[in-house]
Amino acid sequence: MKKTIAWFLLLAVTTTALAQNDVPQTVQTADGQTLRLVWNDEFSGTGLPNPEKWGYEHGFVRNWEKQFYTRERLENVFQKEGKLVIQSLKENYEENGQKAEITSASVTTEGKAAWTYGRIEVCAKLPTGRGAWPAIWMLGTNIRQIGWPRCGEIDIMEYVGFNPTQIHATVHASNHGKHTSKGFWTRLPGVENRFAVYAVEWSEDKMDFFVDDQCYFTFKKTDLEIDPWPFDKPHYLILNTAVGGSWGGQKGIDDAAFPMTYEIDYVRVYQK
């Protein structure tokens, strides 16, 4: 029995090591810079995501969304076959007196990892259906001190289920206390049925947004009047599926879309 357990442990460690060795250790940016891998998660484990890398948003958080974000609940977030799965469910749920008809998950590196500049890339397959609002995005680590949007927000990818085949990238900030933003969208046929790589290459002067290595939006520091400038400070990463809300719910929620399944193959961060 001890030999069997030792064999399985060795196999698990070896498999993880092989998966890690397959990860590119450097990348070339569109500007020709060489960046090296500084942080990643290949989701090669089982059960909940690695607590050393990921925490959770919890409860009803923002934007009049209908989902209740649960914390450390396997029904809503788990690793399986080398993927992180965020699952949004239609169910009767109650926690500490709060009741919800939809549950989901939002995992975040807040308090665990944050970055200023570099290439942040996420390979993912999106949930579909009217009401779905998955995202890959970043917030300034000082949000709890100065609030949103002064902290800055970088939306690497957003998708709303009522507008299929479109993905969006947006930058949010503040100019003397007033919200300001700029974004763009591109059409990606079949995005609902396959994995794609969503990325931002972020430098002092601009951000380039990519899908599958195609740059479809560039935000330059000179594009908007922003004061104070928040994009020279650390930002943390969020992966979530919202349901309904101010944007995702503009055309209602299709009950037939549940369970909504958001699969993330990997997250990789490269810097100088």
3-state secondary structure of 191: helix
Nearest CA-CA partner of 117 in 200, 26, 30, 221? 200
Q: Which residues are registered as beta bridge partners of 235? A: 115, 140
pLDDT at 186: 97
Nearest CA-CA partner of 107 in 198, 200, 237? 237
pLDDT at 10: 44
Helix, strand, coil % in the chain, rounded to nearest 5? 10, 50, 40
Radius of gyration of the chain (CA): 19
* Residue 76 half-sphere exposure toward CB, CA atoms < 13 A: 26
CA-based angle 214:216:220, to the nearest 5? 120
By DSSP bridging, strand 235-243 and strand 214-220 are: unpaired
pTM: 0.92
| The two structure tokens encoding residue 153 | 């927000």
Handedness of CA 188, 240, 68, 65 (dihedral sign): negative
The reply to whether omega before 189 is within 30° of 0 (cis) is: no
Residue 2 backbone dihedrals phi, psi, to 5 degrees: -65, -40
**Residue pLDDT tens, the chain, 272 long:** 544 444 444 444 444 444 556 999 999 999 999 999 999 999 999 999 999 999 999 999 999 999 999 999 999 999 999 999 999 999 999 999 999 999 999 999 999 999 999 999 999 999 999 999 999 999 999 999 999 999 999 999 999 999 999 999 999 999 999 999 999 999 998 888 999 999 999 999 999 999 999 999 999 999 999 999 999 999 999 999 999 999 999 999 999 999 999 999 999 999 99
The separation between the first and the last C-alpha atoms of the chain, rounded to the nearest angstrom, is 47
Just list the catalytic residues: 153, 158
Nearest CA-CA partner of 49 in 8, 106, 123, 88? 106
C-alpha distances in angstroms, 74 versus 43, 104, 112, 132, 201?
15, 11, 21, 20, 33
pLDDT at 266: 98
pLDDT at 173: 98
| DSSP type of residue 5 | H
Q: Which residues are registered as beta bridge partners of 120? A: 200, 269
